[in-house]
Amino acid sequence: MYNFKDELLDNKKPFKNYLFVKTEYRHQKLFFSDILYLKGLSDYVAIQTKEEKILTLQNMKDF
């Protein structure tokens, strides 16, 4: 399982602790600490957070 925290700690550059994804007709801000896992579904990515499941029309390469 990919661990965002390990990669961020290894990198010495300043980093943001969130990302924006396009879902439906808006952009949604997601904090890395809220993401449980990502699941690639061909041209979509399902993002499971602590509170909801988000489906975005992006593929894994876009992340």
Chain segment 1-22, per-residue pLDDT in tens: 666 666 656 666 666 889 899 8
CA dihedral 63, 2, 17, 52 (to 10 degrees): 80
**Cα–Cα distance measured from residue 8 to residue 31, given in angstroms and rounded to the nearest whole number:** 13
* Strands 26-31 and 35-41, sheet pairing: unpaired
Facing residues of 45 across strands?
40, 56
- Judged against a pLDDT cut of 90, whether residue 29 lies above it is answered with yes
**Cα–Cα distance measured from residue 2 to residue 25, given in angstroms and rounded to the nearest whole number:** 28
pTM, 2 dp: 0.70
- Specify the pLDDT at position 55: 93
Q: Rounded mean pLDDT of 29-39?
A: 93
Domain boundaries defined on the chain: 4-62
Q: Rounded mean pLDDT of 35-51?
A: 92
SS3 24: coil
Q: Which CATH class is domain 4-62?
A: mainly beta
